[in-house]
Amino acid sequence: MEMEIMDQLWKLESASIREVQESLPTKRRVEYTTVQTIVYRLEKKGAVERTRKIGNAHIFKPLLSKRSAVGSLVDDFLSQFGGSTEPVMLHLLESGKLTLEDLKQLEESVKEKKGKVE
């Protein structure tokens, strides 16, 4: 649920807890107090900060970019496999979630990155 809250904050750029709660998809919308608890937890972790107060509502903005947050999640996940990507890639391939188009895009990204390093 933390990533869903962060997704909303990245989309909104800054928002009150009520705005975040109301921006969640109807099927995934949780109670205001649940969103409040998660936002406060994210604040303690340094992922969001209060920028100002309008009436009784605090306005929050993300401190982490989506890219860095996703990178941390992926790194944490891969650490469960000793840092190896092979088991994950094999599973994605066998489950049909990794397509030939995905592999082509990955190959292009590797070529671009390699070109920048050289």
Q: Is the pLDDT of residue 52 over 60?
A: yes
Give tens-digit pLDDT for 78-111.
999 898 989 988 899 899 998 889 889 989 989 8
In which element (H, E) is residue 1 found? none
Q: Is the pLDDT of residue 31 over 80?
A: yes
Q: Is the pLDDT of residue 51 over 60?
A: yes
Gap between the Cα atoms of 8 and 108, Å rounded: 30
Rounded (10°) angle between helices 66-79 and 2-12: 160
Structure tokens at 56: 């009784």
Q: Is the pLDDT of residue 118 over 70?
A: no
* Residue 103 or 17, more confident: 17
Query: What domains sit in the chain, N to C, each tagged with a CATH number?
Result: 2-62 (1.10.10.10)
Query: How are strands ordered across the β-sheet holding 15-16?
Result: 15-16, 57-62, 48-54
Coil, strand or helix at 95: coil
pLDDT of 114 reads 81
